[in-house]
């Protein structure tokens, strides 16, 4: 009798183990299939989020306050004809390089802070600073077409790295502004390569963004053959990201 009971208990244990194995197997298969299917979309959304964060970060931290008011007069050489029409724009290379050096140095310091988990003027709750650096977190079902499911599921964490070199140059844009006046705008064009690292995948993208660093209204006109706008760019300044 005791023997029969032992055999019965043994069979029940085997059945339970088989059921548990099948449950874990099917759960793992479903998670893997879902992960393979949605990973590209999650990566795409993650890249969009970090791009939006970077553009906002650049706008909030690089601008007028790091340069003096005479930056346009120091950098641009604007040539006009006798009728006050702007013929072409040139750069004072020494002043342009000094300005780029100020911008790249400040930006490099900010990127180092981000790598160390220090964020200034952050407006995105999904991106936080930590002891491990800059972290982006997204819910697993963020790629769902359902509004209800999009914010559900366990968090997927991405470590954000800034890699390669920080590339900057200066771009000037001159447009007609009222009668016999022109608006001169000076932009810093910034290129940064960002890498997103997750436990099972990684992705990188190049962020290119124009930050307005100075503007001024001057006396002059843009000739019609320019189409109402003159755009010039300086040479690039490259600094390795620390």
- Rounded CA separation 131/202 (Å): 20
Sequence-distant (6+) residues with CB within 8 A of 136 are: 46, 49, 50, 53, 126, 127, 157, 158, 160, 196
Q: Express each pLDDT in 19-77 by its tens digit.
A: 777 777 776 666 666 556 556 777 788 888 888 888 888 877 776 666 666 677 778 88
DSSP per residue over 132-155, as a string?
TEEEEEEEGGGG-S-TTTTT-S-E
Give the tens place of pLDDT for each residue, 121-157: 677 777 877 777 788 888 776 766 666 666 667 777 8
Q: How many domains does the chain have?
A: 1
The Cβ of residue 100 has, within 10 Å, a number of other Cβ atoms equal to 20
Mean pLDDT, rounded, for 225-235: 74
Where do we find the tokens 């962020």? 207
Find the angle CA(68)-CA(103)-CA(204) to the nearest 5 degrees: 155
Range of the domain at 100: 2-240
The β-bridge partners of 134 are 129, 160
pLDDT of 8 > 70? The answer is no
């Amino acid at each position: 009798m005791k023997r029969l009971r032992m055999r019965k208990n043994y069979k029940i244990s085997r059945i339970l183990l088989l059921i548990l194995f099948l449950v874990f197997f099917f759960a793992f298969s479903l998670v893997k299939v879902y992960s393979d299917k949605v990973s590209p979309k999650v990566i795409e959304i993650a890249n969009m989020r970090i791009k939006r964060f970077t553009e906002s970060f650049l706008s909030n931290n690089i601008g007028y306050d790091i340069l003096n008011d005479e930056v346009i007069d120091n950098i641009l050489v604007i040539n006009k004809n006798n009728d006050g029409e702007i013929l072409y724009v040139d750069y004072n290379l020494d002043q342009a390089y000094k300005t780029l050096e100020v911008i790249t140095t400040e930006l490099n310091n900010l990127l180092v802070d981000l790598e160390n988990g220090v964020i200034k003027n952050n407006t995105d709750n999904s991106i936080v600073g930590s002891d491990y650096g800059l972290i982006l977190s997204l819910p697993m079902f963020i790629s769902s077409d359902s509004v209800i499911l999009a914010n559900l599921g366990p968090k997927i964490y991405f470590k954000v790295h800034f890699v390669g070199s920080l590339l900057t140059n200066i771009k000037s844009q001159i447009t007609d502004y009222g009668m016999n006046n022109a608006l001169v705008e000076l932009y810093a064009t910034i290129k940064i390569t960002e890498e997103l690292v997750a436990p099972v995948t990684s992705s990188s993208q190049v962020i290119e963004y124009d930050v307005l660093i100075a503007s001024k209204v001057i006396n002059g006109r843009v000739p019609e053959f320019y189409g109402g706008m003159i755009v010039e760019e300086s040479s690039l300044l490259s600094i390795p990201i620390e």
